[in-house]
């Protein structure tokens, strides 16, 4: 399995972790029964951790829509190389570190981790030029 394929699968796993984190924060705030329905009348929450989990997931999705196709594209085009492999790992580990930094409200380092994810995406994208 190539590095890019490995990071693709791990990134999908990270996305699943985001879902579990949101559920884990949602259940204590709203209770299980209200979450079993369509959630049409679910009240908004002022729980800081639940809101951070949602925003971290939104942020993850904003980068994953770029990273996941790039991970496939560099392989399909034959442009996978040491730079794309490094970029894939930079993206993935930046996103892994981002989760607890965002969840616990660490300001500056969170932004550095976010930027690291973009650097990883850029490293992969520039290999396609």
Structural domain spans, the chain:
3-39+47-126
Q: What is the pLDDT of residue 81?
A: 98
What is the average per-residue pLDDT within 83-89? Answer: 98
pLDDT band (50, 70, 90) for residue 45: confident
What tens digit of pLDDT does each residue of 62-79 get?
999 999 999 999 999 999
What tens digit of pLDDT does each residue of 12-44 get?
999 999 999 999 999 998 888 888 888 888 888
Q: What is the pLDDT of residue 50?
A: 94
Q: What is the pLDDT of residue 32?
A: 86
- The sign one gets for the Cα dihedral 117, 118, 124, 127 is negative
DSSP 8-state assignment for residue 39: -
Asked: is 3-39+47-126 a CATH 3.40.50.410 domain? The reply is: no
Average per-residue pLDDT for the chain: 95
């Amino acid at each position: 399995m190539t590095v890019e394929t490995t990071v693709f699968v791990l990134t999908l796993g990270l996305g699943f972790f985001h879902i579990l984190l949101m559920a884990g924060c949602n259940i204590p705030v709203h209770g299980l029964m209200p979450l079993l329905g369509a959630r049409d009348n679910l009240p908004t929450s002022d729980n800081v951790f639940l809101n951070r989990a949602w925003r971290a997931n939104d942020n993850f999705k904003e980068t994953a829509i770029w990273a996941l196709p790039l991970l496939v594209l560099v392989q399909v085009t034959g442009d996978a190389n040491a730079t794309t492999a490094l970029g894939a790992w930079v993206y993935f580990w930046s996103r892994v570190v981002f989760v607890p930094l965002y969840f616990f409200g660490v300001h500056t380092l969170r932004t550095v981790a976010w930027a690291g994810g973009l650097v990883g995406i850029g490293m992969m994208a520039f290999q396609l030029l």
